[in-house]
Amino acid sequence: MTHRIGPLAGTFSGLLATAVGMAPVGATHAASSTVGPSASVPLTTGAVNLDFTIAIDKFIFFRIGDGAWPTPGGTTSTVSFVLTPSIPGAPTTPVAGNNTPVNWSGAAPTFSVTPSGNALPVEVRSNAGQVTLRAAATAPLTSGANTIPLSEITIASSDSNLPAPPIPNSGTGTTVNVVGTSFANLVTQRTATWTFSYANLASRTAGTYTGQVTFTASSP
């Protein structure tokens, strides 16, 4: 996530997570039986049993950003936000630098948030039953000297059947369920667009804030 206050920039990254299971495997087991003529026993029909075994492995395909099915992308997507101050008292665009005169009423400036790359495609495919998603704070959103809570990064999904999990400030957050598409929720094929936003709930010290979040899909 990029967060600018005055001359400031930062980067928020979501990791691509993928899990692909093995292809189905089939096996057969057969028995044999031989019946021959006998002088005292009449010829009878031989019986043969043939047993079939079919193994279908579970799989989960999960991607955020590039790497549409069936090829995982492997690239970490980046979402950025730039905060631009507006000085009250005059329509003066502030210029970065020292000793720069600006007509200012003395009131606190307001900041407009400009996102970049904040709408990412998301895809989940699975045959493993109920799929859950969760987010974990991999690295805090910090400039080195100051920190912004990661929970101020929010996500809106274009499809309620593929919701985005809340981002925690630290550790692992709560899970959300992806709604299955067929076979009583056993098979899932969902796509959506997740739009990331910065809540900008409090004034922050100028600087470049960077952090990282890992998203994980799992199934029982």
The pLDDT value recorded for residue 37 is 57
Q: Which amino acid is at 24?
A: P
Backbone angles phi, psi at 72, to 5 degrees: -65, 145
The pLDDT value recorded for residue 20 is 40
Distances (CA, A) of 132 to 4, 64, 123, 173: 34, 15, 13, 12
Alpha-carbon torsion, ordered 147, 152, 153, 157, to 10 deg = 170
The pLDDT value recorded for residue 175 is 97
Q: Which pLDDT band holds residue 209 (cuts at 50, 70, 90)?
A: very high
The pLDDT value recorded for residue 107 is 80
Residue 116, domain member (yes or no): yes
Residue 173, domain member (yes or no): yes
The pLDDT value recorded for residue 194 is 98
pTM of the model: 0.72
Burial class of residue 134 (count of CB atoms within 10 Å of its CB; 0-12, 13-18, 19+): middle
Mean pLDDT, all residues of the chain: 81
Q: Which residue has the tokens 């990331």?
A: 196
Greatest mean pLDDT range, 95-99, 104-108, 188-192: 188-192
Share of the chain above pLDDT 90, in %: 55
The pLDDT value recorded for residue 8 is 30
Strands 210-218 vs 11-15: parallel, antiparallel or unpaired? parallel
Tokens representing residue 218 in the block: 């799992």
Name the more confident of 104 and 175.
175
What pLDDT, in 10s, does the model give residues 45-85? 678 899 999 998 999 999 999 887 888 777 889 999 999 88
d(CA 100, CA 197): 32
Tokens representing residue 173 in the block: 């957050």
Burial class of residue 63 (count of CB atoms within 10 Å of its CB; 0-12, 13-18, 19+): buried
The pLDDT value recorded for residue 181 is 96
Cα angle 11, 14, 18 (rounded to 5 degrees) comes to 155
Domain membership of residue 171 as a residue range: 11-21+57-95+103-218
The pLDDT value recorded for residue 74 is 77
d(CA 50, CA 33): 12
Tokens representing residue 211 in the block: 């952090």
How many domains does the chain fold into? 1
Residue 35, domain member (yes or no): no
pLDDT for 145 beyond 70: yes
